[in-house]
Structure 1
Amino acid sequence: MLGDHAGTEDATPYAAASRATDLAGLPPTFIGVGELDVFRDESLDYAARLRAHGVPVELHLYPGAYHAFDLFAPQSQLAESFRHTWNSHLARHLTKTPATPNYQASPADTAHAERGGGAEHGAEETGTDRDRCDAVA
């Protein structure tokens, strides 16, 4: 995608958004990344930078998932969870009226939400953004 600009400082923020220096005023952002994704650290750093600039970020870290896991294993429970979460985010931010989700929260999800937890996908909580994911609206 970046062609000859890959790995250089020549790529503009329009081609590689995480290279922008001023992130203020950007719209609410959804970032879903696999724990084993080659872009994981870059994605987590970008999410932290967006938050530091006041941008609402919904961050989801999928344990054991690699880059494009949703395309290579589209019928997997993890891919279905990702698609549901992504579509939910889009519905909340791109429709005038709130969408009614078809998802029924499990007792574990409900208990986790009541404890103030984020949108984890099977990961243990360790207290750091790099080891868990938080949903910030």
Structure 2
Amino acid sequence: TPHLHLHEGIATMVSTAAENAVRDYLTALKDPSSLHDEQYITQLEKELSEWTDRIGRVMLRQQVLDARNPSASSYEEAFVTHAKAWAEAHGITATAFMAEGVPTSVLRRAGFSITPAGGSRRQGGQGRSPARRSEVSGDRG
């Protein structure tokens, strides 16, 4: 039905946005300069050369500076918004993200449960620490 097709298209757009957010953040962590968009910078510089309002110029100037020197933090919020759902849909764990350089603090903000040892904790009580052994062999009383 046409309605189903529309729904699938929206789901694909959301999935693509989530995947792009994850990809851009991982790229920014490893090589922020690769996210440099020369066309966008050229467009901003053209606008800046034509702008006469001082407030507008300073705002455009900051956009040019940010575009020339992209940082991971500029992509972090989108990652935090989308990473958990995207990871669950693709079977990706927090441990895999950590191996790619994503800080545990960012993963926590994204909704992942992180164990003290640095692993990811899945729902259902899995991922318990080795301290269980001492509970069995230790004295009680």
Bucket of the pairwise TM-score, normalised by the shorter protein: under 0.3
Q: TM-score, normalised by structure 2?
A: 0.25
Greater C-alpha radius of gyration = 2
More strand by share: 1
More helix by share: 2
